[in-house]
Chain A
């Protein structure tokens, strides 16, 4: 029998895996009729999910995902134990969904909690507000008008970081290269380009801040000298 792989942790190492989570919602219409079981006052059908940005299989290292919906739903705690980790439901209101990720047993990691606000109605974006000339209500109308299809998305990119993973976990995580983000893609907004953009933005901000800091420092020094002079008087 092969010697058992120890559950010791590999020090000084961390492995990160990207995930996306969120929801997609569609208004109920002729094209999208309400399923028979749901009450008639529901206006939207939506699904909340947890997935890999490249579509890889998450069940490698995720055992199950528990979505905790609003208490008014029957069986508000939905446990999904096999991919795809998603819940299809209907409703009329927005609320916060608690997503708990449980990892495989032999990995020796605790579960992780994420929060996601279910989005059913379109919000005016920054661009919309600018177009409406700063008026939010007008922007809302514009956004609504534009969003004729009734399709609303709210998806978040995030990364799971495993600090000092156990050897087993390490194995699981590195079986396949998972961190590869697409450089450019039409399917998802989460691409390397987007990352680059973010980095650039931060860099710019950093420069500005640095300038301000320098200015302030000069001011500070001047004031210090003044103070000293006055004290000596």
Chain B
């Protein structure tokens, strides 16, 4: 431990940075540290000193098989026996042309090594299959492709292509063709015709001037065209596989290639403003497209609308005025037969007794229905002689009505009301409700009003004080009604008591406060 810190001091490593560094890798080292802490007891004296010397960050050392019982000496000898020996053997590289013999280490003992395998890196020595041609070939076929190119230059080009594996970037970089004098003289003659004055200048300069330096496109062009022709000429053997290749070679267009590169260059060097402009233009174009589409749709819809609807039945009969009225009548009857309430306009009743419109309508309807009921009474005639026949008579007439026609419910109601005296109603146990009641059967005692449990208990208490029990002895209609009212009254009493208590408390509180003041 002390040794490590000494070393670090010598090296002038700051404690803080060390800690930082340690903290960054804390996770890994915590585990490591804990493990080492656990194993510390097992480490011998010498090893401990060694560990101290090396410091807390142990470098990963030898990967040995853990043999705790064996001594170090024995483990050393084991190393030699376990691992194989290496031999330095000579070899030749088949890719080389000079037959150079070098030596390299091979695993295993000399005796076992007799197999002569080819050098493993020979397989990477590949080259492209670029066609070859002779001067004769050139003069016969290839001269006419491009008069600007000589046999020598073409040969040079092909040689470069082969050497550099058709990597155009490299080829154009190291393309240093020096044209011969013969070629230049031809060009020189041409020049004579053009300009005499330039003769006085340096011949060499002229020569260099006439020979235009080749561009990548030129080279490509020449190579592809020549190869294409050569491959075509070798057709005699039945060239199936190369047809695709020939096609591909022929598809090269020099001018197009130049244009393409120009465009690409321009694209890559657009200014940001230009990019933004382009994007906005694209968006606008899309908007226009959508708008155009929409307009087309709307137009189609309009056309559909404007087209008069096709009638299924012949309409000739309705074209005359009489036919028109007939049509109108049929429609009206159909409308009427659908049994809709005739919405006759009702004059609003203004003034001191003004009532809302809907109520007025309801009233009108009621009046109308009563009028209808009276009409029917008159229709019934003799048998409906009011009251003369007593109960059964009433019943009969009622039954008759029920059997004869299906009257709206209110009719029966109105009839009953007008027929039965209040006593009779009581006898029959019939009761009218103004408001809507829920349909169903129930027991009167079961529908006694109840409140929330807290209130209920107080109410019951008060009831008991008054001498009335919750269970009524005679829960008839009248009794129940009165009882209901009583319950509500008691409930309101209880509520009132609560409120008074509240206010009383408030008042005393405030009094105390103010009193103190």
The answer to whether A223 touches B428, judged by C-beta atoms less than 8 angstroms apart, is: no
Q: How large is the interface on B (under 10, 10 to 19, 20 to 34, 35 or more residues)?
A: 35 or more
The answer to whether B507 touches A226, judged by C-beta atoms less than 8 angstroms apart, is: yes
The answer to whether A202 touches B483, judged by C-beta atoms less than 8 angstroms apart, is: yes
**B429 is an interface residue with CB less than 8 A from chain A:** yes
**Which residue on chain B has the smallest CB distance to residue A166?**
B439
**Which residue on chain B has the smallest CB distance to residue A201?**
B468
A10-B409, A12-B436, A179-B426 known; A230+B507 contact, CB < 8 A:
yes
**A137 is an interface residue with CB less than 8 A from chain B:** no
CB of A183 to closest CB in B, whole Å: 13
Residues of A near B485 (CB, < 8 A) are 206
CB of B395 to closest CB in A, whole Å: 7
**B431 is an interface residue with CB less than 8 A from chain A:** yes
A112-B442, A112-B443, A164-B437 known; A220+B496 contact, CB < 8 A:
yes
The answer to whether A158 touches B443, judged by C-beta atoms less than 8 angstroms apart, is: yes
Which among B440, B476, B500, B503 is the interface contact of A110 at CB below 8 angstroms? B440
Most-contacted residue by chain A among B424, B426, B439 (CB, 10 A): B439
**Which residue on chain A has the smallest CB distance to residue B433?**
A12
**A148 is an interface residue with CB less than 8 A from chain B:** no
A10-B413, A179-B428, A230-B510 known; A213+B437 contact, CB < 8 A:
no
**B21 is an interface residue with CB less than 8 A from chain A:** no
User: How many angstroms from the CA of A230 to the CA of B476 in the assembled complex?
Assistant: 51
**A81 is an interface residue with CB less than 8 A from chain B:** no
Residues of chain A in range 3-56 having any CB-CB distance to chain B below 8 Å: 3, 5-6, 8-18
The answer to whether A220 touches B500, judged by C-beta atoms less than 8 angstroms apart, is: yes
**B285 is an interface residue with CB less than 8 A from chain A:** no
Which among A163, A171, A198, A219 is the interface contact of B438 at CB below 8 angstroms? A163
Most-contacted residue by chain B among A164, A174, A190, A199 (CB, 10 A): A174
**B324 is an interface residue with CB less than 8 A from chain A:** no
Residues of A near B486 (CB, < 8 A) are 202, 205-206, 209
Residues of A near B466 (CB, < 8 A) are 204-205, 208-209
A198-B479, A223-B503 known; A205+B474 contact, CB < 8 A:
no
The answer to whether B496 touches A213, judged by C-beta atoms less than 8 angstroms apart, is: yes
Residues of chain B in range 413-443 having any CB-CB distance to chain A below 8 Å: 413, 416, 424, 426-443
**Which residue on chain A has the smallest CB distance to residue B391?**
A177
CB of A158 to closest CB in B, whole Å: 5
User: How many angstroms from the CA of A184 to the CA of B496 in the assembled complex?
Assistant: 41
Residues of chain B in range 433-492 having any CB-CB distance to chain A below 8 Å: 433-445, 447, 462-463, 466-468, 472-479, 482-483, 485-486, 489-490, 492
Majority SS of interface residues in chain A? mixed
**A203 is an interface residue with CB less than 8 A from chain B:** yes
Majority SS of interface residues in chain B? helix
The answer to whether A158 touches B444, judged by C-beta atoms less than 8 angstroms apart, is: yes
Residues of A near B293 (CB, < 8 A) are none
CB of B400 to closest CB in A, whole Å: 11
**Which residue on chain A has the smallest CB distance to residue B483?**
A202
**Which residue on chain B has the smallest CB distance to residue A5?**
B402
Residues of A near B445 (CB, < 8 A) are 156, 158
Which among B395, B403, B427, B493 is the interface contact of A209 at CB below 8 angstroms? B493
Residues of chain A in range 155-214 having any CB-CB distance to chain B below 8 Å: 156-164, 167, 171, 173-175, 177-181, 189-190, 194-195, 198-199, 201-206, 208-210, 212-213
The answer to whether B468 touches A205, judged by C-beta atoms less than 8 angstroms apart, is: yes
**A216 is an interface residue with CB less than 8 A from chain B:** yes
Residues of B near A135 (CB, < 8 A) are none
**Which residue on chain B has the smallest CB distance to residue A196?**
B474
The answer to whether B475 touches A157, judged by C-beta atoms less than 8 angstroms apart, is: yes
Residues of chain A in range 81-119 having any CB-CB distance to chain B below 8 Å: 103, 109-110, 112, 114
The answer to whether B500 touches A219, judged by C-beta atoms less than 8 angstroms apart, is: yes
Residues of B near A17 (CB, < 8 A) are 429
CB of B419 to closest CB in A, whole Å: 12
Residues of A near B426 (CB, < 8 A) are 179
14 pairs, A vs B, C-beta closer than 8 Å: A12-B436, A16-B429, A156-B445, A158-B475, A167-B402, A177-B424, A198-B472, A201-B467, A203-B482, A205-B463, A209-B490, A216-B497, A226-B507, A227-B510
Beyond A205-B468, A223-B504, A223-B507, 10 additional pairs, beta carbon < 8 A: A9-B409, A10-B409, A18-B429, A18-B476, A157-B475, A160-B442, A174-B430, A177-B424, A195-B479, A213-B492
A-B pairs with lowest CB-CB distance, top 8: A179-B429, A164-B439, A16-B429, A177-B427, A205-B466, A159-B444, A223-B503, A195-B474
